[in-house]
Amino acid sequence: MNRFHIIKDIVYDILNNECFGTHRKNGLEHLFNVANMANLLAKTENLDQETAAIIGILHDLATYKFHTSFDHANRSSILAKDILSKSNLFSDAEINLIITAIKNHSFKERIDDKYSELIKNADLLVQHLNEPDALLSKNKQTRLDNLFNKR
């Protein structure tokens, strides 16, 4: 998990220096909570926990950096690719896996690769834990129901 801590520190610096007030607080809480949930889900699914946590910490970064959720999955994948490439800690295959999962995480209505599914589920579970009475779209509610029935 050493690479995760390096990426986490980069994300922390971005949030701390480029986001303010509740936007910074929300970004810190959401990204770190989703990273932890992704780590936990990876353990239960026999996936790489470090990779999962890195996807989690980067998946919504654009929302907070640019102060908008417009096209955030795609924009977050672009930020992630830049961060991961500049770190010189990841192979091209690892970067592609991570950015693919980030790009796919908003498409809760479809089934994608294992890491894309993991981040979709981690994101949704964190949302549910933070707002258990929130009304969800049919696709999100079905996904949540499937998660709870699976375990």
Q: What DSSP designation does 129 have?
A: H
Do 54 and 3 meet the contact criterion of CB atoms below 8 Å apart?
yes
Predicted model pTM: 0.94
Q: Which of 2-11, 103-112, 135-144 has the lowest mean pLDDT?
A: 135-144
Q: Residues 3-19: what's their mean pLDDT?
A: 96
CB neighbours of residue 17 within 10 Å = 10
pLDDT digits (tens, 9 = 90+) for 80-121: 999 999 999 999 999 999 999 999 999 988 999 999 999 999
Q: What is the CATH number of domain 2-150?
A: 1.10.3210.10
pLDDT at residue 94, as a whole number:
98
Long-range contact list for 127-132, CB < 8 A, 24+ apart? 129/33, 130/33
pLDDT at residue 30, as a whole number:
96
Cα separation, 113 vs 142, in Å, equals 18
pLDDT at residue 1, as a whole number:
67
Smallest Cα–Cα separation from 141: which of 151, 131, 129, 128?
Answer: 128
> How buried is 13 (Cβ within 10 angstroms: 0-12 exposed, 13-18 middle, 19+ buried)?
exposed
Cα separation, 142 vs 70, in Å, equals 24
**With 80 as the cut, is the pLDDT of residue 150 above it?**
no
pLDDT digits (tens, 9 = 90+) for 12-63: 999 999 998 888 999 999 999 999 999 999 999 999 999 999 999 999 999 9
The residues spanned by each domain of the chain are: 2-150
pLDDT at residue 110, as a whole number:
93
Q: Helical H runs in the chain?
A: 2-18, 21-45, 49-58, 61-65, 72-87, 92-104, 114-130, 138-150
φ, ψ (nearest 5 deg) of residue 106: -80, -15
